[in-house]
């Protein structure tokens, strides 16, 4: 029997030894099409990525099954990658295609290959600890703005996060309150929907008047008033956010991609990209707006990174009514770490939860007004 005075302890199992089943984005496809093999460290191993002569991207385990040479330090020969040690040539399906000095290729000359997907200028790789191919129903939807002349090109960013597990970033899907304290946004509406392999966050917010933003600096510059966001994880690691910023001179429609892939159990590569619709009121400034928004979002992610690097892993978070459905999200997320036969209905059945923002909004509005009053008092006390 517990009492009110009993100290709450933090419970935390070790991070999972396996890596999530699903499509993971490795970055912009064009970064791998220069005719050279590329090293990618992911899923606890080293991979080699290269483009075949027809432009198709391939991903294999980087170590040659002959004598252990590093294929990512080899060369691309036509459709194949050649080992720098003995020039064994490996095709994208994992088979040894040729041994220059041998009469025949050994029958068992196979290495680990990963299914790939090139879509919207991005490269995806499928990871499954059980070795199964991607099911037909598990897909990544197309992003209209990524292939339209009416939108900008990708502004893309990447950073390696050490000392944190991937679950830390996924928790943000349900964490309404951190947007106010960490990202200086004032959430006025917040709802989550989980179903199948997707997890959605719907948020509306207004800009905090007590925090200066780069967009608001300069005389006559348009100011951001707020944002509307519908962000969905499609699988364990790829989120598409239909994000509209509301400025004093009009709305700016954008699509933000927030994605990651694990390097080890306690490190991951965080990537995000943004495309912006070339609205009439933006004129020739659309590309610059995309870059500015990307840099602003970068600041927000850096704020998250500082939290992740210094926080404790906690499996039994102590929650209040205004916190989001953390336990339900983690139950949804668990489906990607168990065998496919162990995925249960409670992990995939539709679940909806809308947070009552009445109390948070009242408290935050009072805090903002107090901060503004302090700022005004400080400004008035400065000598002229």
Q: Is the backbone of residue 302 left (phi > 0), alpha (psi -120 to 50) or beta?
A: alpha
pLDDT of residue 301: 78
List C-alpha distances in Å: 156 to 49, 175, 225, 234: 19, 25, 25, 19
What domains are there in the chain, each with its CATH number?
A: 22-127 (2.102.10.10), 149-367 (3.90.380.10)
Q: Is it the case that residue 221 has pLDDT exceeding 70?
A: no
Per residue in 297-355, pLDDT tens? 778 778 888 888 888 999 999 999 999 999 999 999 999 999 999 999 999 999 999 99
Q: How many Cβ atoms sit within 10 Å of the Cβ of residue 203?
A: 21
Distance CA 155, CA 294 (A): 7
- What confidence tier does 120 reach under pLDDT thresholds 50, 70, 90? very high
Mean pLDDT calculated for residue range 9-25:
94
pLDDT of residue 1: 60
């Amino acid at each position: 029997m517990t009492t009110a005075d009993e100290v709450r302890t933090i419970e935390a199992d070790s991070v999972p030894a396996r890596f999530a089943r699903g499509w993971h984005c490795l970055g912009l496809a064009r970064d791998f099409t220069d005719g050279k093999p590329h090293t990618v460290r992911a899923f606890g191993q080293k991979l080699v990525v290269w483009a075949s002569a027809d432009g198709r991207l391939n991903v294999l385990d980087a170590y040659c099954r002959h004598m252990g040479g590093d294929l990512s330090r080899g060369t691309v020969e036509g459709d194949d990658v050649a080992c720098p040690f003995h020039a064994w040539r490996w095709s994208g399906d994992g088979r040894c295609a040729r041994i220059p000095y041998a009469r025949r290729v050994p029958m068992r000359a196979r290495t680990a290959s990963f299914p790939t997907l090139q879509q919207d200028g991005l490269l995806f790789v499928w990871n499954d600890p059980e070795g199964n191919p991607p099911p037909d129903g598990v897909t990544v939807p197309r992003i209209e703005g990524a292939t339209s002349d009416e939108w900008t090109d990708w502004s893309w960013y990447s950073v390696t996060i050490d000392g944190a597990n991937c679950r830390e970033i996924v928790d943000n899907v349900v964490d309404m309150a951190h947007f106010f304290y960490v990202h200086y946004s004032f959430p006025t509406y917040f709802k989550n929907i989980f179903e199948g392999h997707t997890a959605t966050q719907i948020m509306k917010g207004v800009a905090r008047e007590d925090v200066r933003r780069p967009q608001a600096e300069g005389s006559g510059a348009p100011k951001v008033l707020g944002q509307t966001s519908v962000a969905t994880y499609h699988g364990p690691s790829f989120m598409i956010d239909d994000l509209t910023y509301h400025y004093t001179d009009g709305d700016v429609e954008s699509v933000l991609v927030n994605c990651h892939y694990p390097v080890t159990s306690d490190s991951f590569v965080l990537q995000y990209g943004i495309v912006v619709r070339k609205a009439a009121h933006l004129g020739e400034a659309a590309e610059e707006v995309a870059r500015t928004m990307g840099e602003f979002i970068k600041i927000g992610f850096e704020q998250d990174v500082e939290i992740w690097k210094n926080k404790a892993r906690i499996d039994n978070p102590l929650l209040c009514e205004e916190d989001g459905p953390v336990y339900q999200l983690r139950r949804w997320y668990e489906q990607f770490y168990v065998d496919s036969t162990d995925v249960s209905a409670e992990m995939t059945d539709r679940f909806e939860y809308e947070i009552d923002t009445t109390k948070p909004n009242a408290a935050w509005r009072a805090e903002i007004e107090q901060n503004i009053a302090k700022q005004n008092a400080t400004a008035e006390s400065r000598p002229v």
